[in-house]
């Protein structure tokens, strides 16, 4: 057995195992610096490191080590790396009591026995070490790379122990255990134990933490649970929904192309992530496609007599419209391919355009939908926005078709004369593609993308003024005039239609309330000013509501109530309107006739003249066309002064002032031409004209009298104001047939072709 001397470093509180390196720094005056010197000078840097734990128990095992990297620091200290090589037995310490002297020892090598199945044990250990370092967070797993290919159990244990074992005493035990096998066992044991300890510690930790964080934890858990629930719920919901959608798609009777598209979109929906915005876009789209009435039709009522009966019951008059509808249905029955005509009802508000369209739908058993295009500027309102827009949706046509629930509804498009176009496109041309029977079979909405057949839809349009209907559209329409009603027609409508409707709506017996005709007429005359009956309906409704409220509030027991003139003030307030009643006959005053949104009215025209330069003064806020008519009237009389016995000087030495009172009436249009001319003539010839006479007709410079519009309304207004004779253009003769009977009966019409004929009437008027 080899023995040799070695200088000794005695470690206190630290253990150096073989395969490990110790970095030490010595003070210049330390004894140990001498030991380092001795080692370097006489022992090739070899040195014995002994770890002493208790001085009474002087260790028998030391570690043969080598000094490396001996560095002298600027402050005189020495820093060395001491690398542990192997265990040696210390046979003797040479000067243990002389503290100042360096220690020296006599050591001898230790011979290790061969270990059976060493590699198996090594592998097992490595495995355990790996799992240990993995599970325990505060142990670095860098040692794994050091031992991965280790073949010696002796070295393996020494490499890992300082890393894995924290107790210094235990490491010392490892040092003192010469047999690697024993150390291997110890290590396994320690690993198991450490793992156990860690587990317990962790549990303890968690319990402490749990108590500390209880409220916070509960909050977190609840939040998590909410999310989990939502997630689970969502996926469940989505699955259910997809099943439902698939079922609906299977059942839906739509063109094959649309079905294909639907299945494709459904697939996209299935694979999309719930939270993504795309998902709801796809779902909305699918729902739109499903909801459209692709091939669903209501069956038309073909009993034309019954249709007519229903229309007559719901609406008074409106002969032409009703007749036209019956014709349409008759043609349709003869030939299935007959294209739906596009009927356009033109007339002032409240004359029953919308409600009649609704009744038509009812009478022929079609569903009814309505859109208003008044004020629309953007064509997207009609044909929708592309899906790429945020919040995109179909246009009004497709949206209404969804509501219609059938592909052959009656589709009312209101106020087509109030559309306008701007930079966002022309809604008129979009509307044309909707109405045109050539195109509307393949109507395409930007959002829906798939073609939708509108060819079975019965379109009905409405407008207030024919002149404001876009020209391109007007060409395709069959215009039906629905003009205003006379007072007597209104009276009929009120008693036969409006009152029964209102009384029923208020849940009253049909004979509970009576209103005498003259009371209704008073309401028509003094509380409404309209061509239609909307305001009248509102006023009647107001009366009935007030009566009902009074009965309920005062708990009155009565069987019947009669509304007389006396209560009108109470229920409807002060009279709102007074119609122009014909004035006394005067020189220079003539009744023209006006046609306004409220219907017709007389329009007194006053003319005065006084010294001046032949100028024309016009007041009463006249429109441009009416101003022109006034100029034409004057010029005509100037150039024909002889014919009409006018003193020419009166025309050129005076200024002529024409005033048209009634500021509230819009005064424009050419139809006052002959009335203006006659008023000037009356003034300058000093001859009165009867106030029982009214005139309407355009005049040319040659004195020809041209046709005018709104004859019905004008004559109704004239009758109300007490006019007995009306001069009209011969060209309007055909319109006389359509005038209400009372007008025809009570008014004398004189048809004229030129102003000369008007003059005849004038001079013969006594
Ligand atoms: P418009 O569409 O021409 O503005 P509405 O259809 O809204 O007019 O009619 C207003 C009200 O007057 C409705 O309650 C309607 O029933 C009623 N009405 C209009 N004309 C008639 C009529 N000829 N017969 C019966 N009721 C009518």
Segments making up each domain of the chain, as ranges: 3-109, 118-198, 234-279, 320-480, 487-572, 586-764
Residues belonging to the active site: 671, 714
Residue bearing the CA closest to ligand 1, atom 25:
315
Q: Are 63 and 48 in contact (CB under 8 A)?
A: yes
Answer yes or no: is the C-beta of 353 below 6 A from any ligand 1 atom.
yes
Within 10 A of 748 (CB to CB), how many other CB atoms are there? 11
Tokens of 724: 């007995």
pLDDT of residue 328: 78
Radius of gyration of the chain (CA): 55
Ligand 1 centroid, distance to 561 Cα (angstroms): 26
Measured distance CA(470)–CA(561) in Å, rounded = 50
**Ligand 1: does its nearest atom lie under 6 Å from the Cβ of 354?**
yes
The CATH architecture to which 487-572 belongs is: Orthogonal Bundle (1.10)
Q: What is the model's pLDDT at position 275?
A: 67
CATH number of 3-109: 2.30.130.40
Tokens matching residue 236? 């469940």
Burial pattern 154-189, b for ≥16 Cβ within 10 A else e, equals bbbbbbbbbbbbeeeeebbbbbebbebbebbebbee
Instruction: Compute the distance from residue 350 Cα to the ligand 1 centre, in Å.
Output: 5
Q: At what angle do helices 180-251 and 118-135 cross, to 10 degrees?
A: 50
CATH of the domain spanning 320-480: 3.40.50.300
Q: What is the pLDDT of residue 574?
A: 84
Phi, psi of 627 (to 5 degrees): -60, -45
Sign of CA dihedral 48, 51, 55, 56: negative
User: Is pLDDT of 667 > 80?
Assistant: no
Q: Which of 727, 677, 731 is nearest to 700 (CA)?
A: 677
CB contact at 8 A, 761 and 727: yes
CA distance 503 to 505: 5
Number of other residues whose CB lies within 10 A of the CB of residue 470? 18
Identify the CA nearest to 466 among candidates 595, 581, 580.
595
pLDDT of residue 751: 97
With the most atoms of ligand 1 within 8 angstroms of its CB, the residue from 350, 361, 539 to mutate is 350
Asked if the model's pLDDT at residue 636 lies above 80, the reply is yes
Ligand 1 test: best mutation among 373, 463, 492, 532, most atoms within 8 Å of CB?
532
What was the pLDDT predicted at 513? 87
| Helix/strand/coil percent split, the chain, to 5 | 50, 20, 35
Residue 596: what pLDDT?
74
Q: Both tokens of residue 656? A: 């002529």
Whether 317 is in the pocket of ligand 1, judged by its Cβ within 6 Å, is yes
Helix (H) or strand (E) run with residue 456 in it: none
Does the CB atom of residue 497 touch ligand 1 within 6 A? yes
Ligand 1 centre to CA of 751 (Å) is 33
Structural contact between residues 680 and 656, judged by C-beta atoms closer than 8 angstroms: yes
Residue 489 CA to ligand 1 centre (angstroms): 12
Diameter of the chain by CA atoms? 168
Q: Which atom of ligand 1 lies closest to the CA of 533? A: 12
**Would you say the CB of residue 38 lies under 6 angstroms from ligand 1?**
no
Q: What is the CATH number of domain 586-764?
A: 3.30.230.10
Atom of ligand 1 nearest to the CA of 358: 6
DSSP state of 1: -
The pLDDT assigned to 518 comes to: 86
- Nearest atom in ligand 1 to the alpha carbon of residue 482 is 3
Which of 534, 536, 540, 597 to probe ligand 1 with, by most ligand atoms within 8 A of CB? 534
CA of 713 to the centre of ligand 1 (A): 17
Dist. CA 32–CA 28, nearest whole Å: 9
In whole angstroms, give the CA distance from residue 271 to residue 179: 64
Distance CA 476, CA 357 (A): 19
The alpha carbon of 353 and the centre of ligand 1 are apart by a number of angstroms equal to 6
Q: How far is the CA of 112 from the centre of ligand 1 (A)?
A: 118
Mean pLDDT confidence for 372-398: 87
With residue 464 as reference, give the H or E element that holds it.
none
- Measured from the Cα of 485, ligand 1's closest atom is 23
Does the Cβ of 322 fall within 6 Å of ligand 1? no
Helix (H) or strand (E) holding 183: helix 180-251
Q: What is the pLDDT of residue 559?
A: 79
Return the SS3 of 689.
Answer: strand
Pocket flag, ligand 1, residue 352 (CB < 6 Å)? yes
Contacts of 643 (CB under 8 A, 6+ apart): 756, 759
pLDDT at position 678: 96
The percentage of residues in the chain with a pLDDT greater than 70, rounded to a whole number, is: 91
Residue 242: CB atoms within 10 A of its CB come to 16
For ligand 1, whether the C-beta of 22 sits within 6 Å is: no
Query: C-alpha 416: how far from its chain's center?
Result: 25
C-beta of 374 in contact with ligand 1 (< 6 A): no
**pLDDT band per the 50, 70, 90 thresholds, residue 210:** low
Between 234 and 634, the more confident residue is 634
């Amino acid at each position: 057995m080899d023995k040799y001397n070695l200088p000794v470093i005695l470690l206190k509180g630290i253990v150096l195992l073989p395969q490990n390196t110790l970095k030490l720094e010595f003070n210049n005056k330390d004894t140990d610096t001498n030991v380092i010197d001795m080692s370097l000078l006489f022992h090739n840097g070899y040195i014995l490191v002994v770890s002493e734990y208790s001085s009474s128990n002087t260790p028998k095992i030391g570690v043969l080590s080598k000094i490396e990297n001996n560095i002298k620091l600027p402050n005189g200290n020495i820093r060395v790396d001491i690398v542990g090589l192997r265990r040696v037995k210390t046979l003797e310490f040479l000067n243990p009591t002389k503290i100042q002297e360096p220690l020296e020892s006599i050591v001898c090598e230790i011979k290790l026995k061969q270990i059976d199945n060493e590699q198996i044990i090594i592998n097992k250990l490595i495995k355990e070490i790996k799992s240990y370092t993995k599970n325990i967070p505060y142990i670095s797993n860098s040692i794994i790379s050091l031992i991965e290919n280790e073949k010696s159990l002796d070295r393996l244990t020494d490499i890992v122990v300082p890393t894995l074992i924290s107790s210094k005493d235990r490491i010392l035990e490892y040092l003192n255990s010469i047999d690697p096998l024993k150390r291997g066992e110890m290590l396994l044991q320690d690993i198991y134990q450490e793992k156990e300890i860690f587990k317990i510690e962790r549990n303890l930790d968690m319990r402490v933490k749990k108590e500390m964080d209880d409220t916070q934890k509960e909050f977190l858990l609840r939040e998590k649970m909410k999310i989990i629930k939502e997630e689970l719920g969502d996926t469940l919901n989505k699955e259910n929904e997809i099943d439902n959608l698939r079922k609906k798609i299977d059942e839906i009777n739509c063109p094959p192309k649309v079905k294909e598209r639907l299945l494709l979109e459904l697939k996209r929906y299935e694979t999309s992530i719930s939270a993504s915005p795309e998902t709801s876009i796809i779902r909305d789209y699918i729902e739109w496609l499903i909801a459209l009435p692709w091939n669903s039709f209501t069956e038309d009522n073909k009993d034309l007599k019954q249709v007519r009966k229903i229309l007559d019951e719901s609406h008074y008059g409106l002969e032409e419209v009703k007749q036209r509808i019956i014709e349409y249905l008759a043609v349709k029955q003869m030939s299935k391919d007959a294209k739906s005509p596009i009927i356009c009802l033109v007339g002032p508000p409240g004359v029953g355009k919308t409600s009649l369209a609704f009744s038509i739908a009812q009478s022929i058993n079609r569903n009814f939908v309505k859109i208003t295009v008044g004020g629309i500027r953007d064509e997207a309102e009609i044909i929708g926005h592309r899906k790429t827009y945020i919040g995109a949706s179909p246009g009004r046509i497709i949206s209404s078709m969804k509501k219609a629930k059938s592909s052959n509804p009656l589709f009312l498009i209101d106020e087509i004369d109030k559309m306008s176009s701007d930079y966002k496109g022309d809604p008129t041309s979009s509307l044309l593609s909707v109405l045109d029977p050539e195109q509307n079979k393949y109507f395409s909405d930007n959002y829906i993308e798939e073609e939708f057949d509108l060819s079975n839809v019965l379109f009905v349009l409405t407008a207030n003024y024919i002149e404001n209907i876009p020209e391109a559209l007007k060409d395709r329409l069959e215009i039906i005039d629905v003009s205003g009603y006379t007072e007597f027609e209104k009276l009929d409508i009120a008693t036969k239609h409006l009152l029964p409707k209102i009384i029923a709506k208020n849940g009253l017996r049909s004979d509970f309330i009576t209103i005498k005709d003259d009371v209704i007429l008073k309401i028509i005359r003094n509380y409404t000013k309209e061509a239609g009956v909307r305001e009248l309906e509102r006023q009647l409704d107001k009366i009935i509501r007030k009566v009902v409220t009074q009965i309920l509030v005062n708990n009155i027991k009565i069987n019947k109530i009669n509304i007389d003139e006396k209560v009108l003030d109470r229920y409807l307030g002060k009279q709102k309107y007074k119609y122009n009643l014909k004035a006394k006959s005067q020189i220079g005053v003539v009744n023209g006739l006006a046609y306004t949104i409220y219907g017709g009215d007389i329009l007194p025209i006053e003319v005065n003249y006084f010294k001046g330069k032949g100028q024309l003064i016009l007041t009463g806020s006249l429109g441009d066309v009416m101003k022109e008519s006034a100029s034409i009237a004057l010029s005509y009389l100037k150039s024909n002064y002889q014919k009409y016995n006018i003193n020419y000087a009166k025309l050129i030495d005076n200024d002529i002032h024409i005033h048209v009172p009634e500021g509230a009436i819009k005064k424009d249009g050419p139809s006052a031409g002959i009335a203006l001319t006659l008023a000037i003539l009356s003034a300058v010839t000093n001859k009165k004209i009867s106030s029982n006479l009214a005139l309407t007709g355009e005049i040319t410079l040659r004195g020809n009298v041209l046709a005018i519009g709104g004859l019905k309304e004008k004559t109704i207004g004239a009758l109300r104001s007490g006019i007995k004779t009306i001069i009209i253009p011969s060209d309007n003769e055909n319109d006389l047939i359509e005038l209400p009977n009372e007008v025809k009966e009570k008014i004398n019409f004189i048809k004229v072709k030129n102003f000369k004929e008007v003059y005849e009437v004038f001079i013969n008027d006594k």
